Amino acid sequence: MLNRIKEDISCVFDRDPAARNTFEVITTYPGVHAIIMHRFSHALSKKGFKWLARVLSNVARLFTGIEIHPGAVIGRRFFIDHGMGIVIGETAEIGDDCSLYHGVTLGGTSWNPGKRHPTLGNNVVVGAGAKILGPIMINDGARVGSNAVVVKEVPKNTTVVGVPAREVVLSDVTQKNREEIAHKMGFDAYGATQDMTDPVAKTVNRMLDHIHKMDERMDKMCLQMRHLGGEFDFEPLPGLKDAELSECNPESDKKS
């Protein structure tokens, strides 16, 4: 347990540029306080001292604003930044080298006994305000964007954003390339990068571009038919003129 606490303290320097020295981290970081208290309360819970473990976890919640159930299983080098409002349920499982920001909920969606809370793999980053609900798996290297609501499994080395959370689509990227990109990106604060695009907005923009292209083609067809003697009314797109019919080559159509 002491070795794990030392790792929890040392990993702060790798993930928070504001950390200056060990004394400052031990005395002023609520995330470190919460995880240290959880290590003890979890040990008490495993020994059968359930009530005492809950009391200790409530004391930690009172002083840090972070609620971690003593039954939650947390791996090595766990980092909580800011921390206020974090809730981790009883059957939640968190792997090694994971990072959570303030307002994150690892919650359940059922009152039935048994596994109710999420499982996080290794090297998972969950951004501020994100909600991960139900007994789902967030696989190794995944990134959950701020304020996302995740209700289904997240594949390995994938970034999800939105409500409900959707994968940030990288076209024509194989699993191998995806892993290489994730490794190159390294640690992503708040689970999102500055140049990340919203997958829903990207899809809508592609649809609008396609509709605009189809409108252009339809107007050119109408102009060509009118040039060949057809009589009908239509409103062409702004900027589309009869001169553009040269692209359609109507003379060759007549010969054919």
Determine the Cα–Cα distance for residues 8 and 97; give it in Å rounded to an integer: 9
Where is pLDDT greater, at 245 or 53?
53
- Topology of domain 2-194, per CATH? UDP N-Acetylglucosamine Acyltransferase; domain 1 (2.160.10)
State yes or no: pLDDT of 13 exceeds 50: yes
pLDDT category at 211 given cuts 50, 70, 90 is confident
Determine the Cα–Cα distance for residues 210 and 239; give it in Å rounded to an integer: 18
Is 99:125 a contact under the CB 8 Å cutoff?
Answer: yes
Average pLDDT value for residue range 53-59: 94
pLDDT at res. 185: 46
Sheet of 93-94, strand order: 73-74, 93-94, 119-120, 137-138
Q: Please give the model's pTM, rounded to 2 decimal places.
A: 0.66
pLDDT at res. 143: 92
Is 34:80 a contact under the CB 8 Å cutoff?
Answer: yes
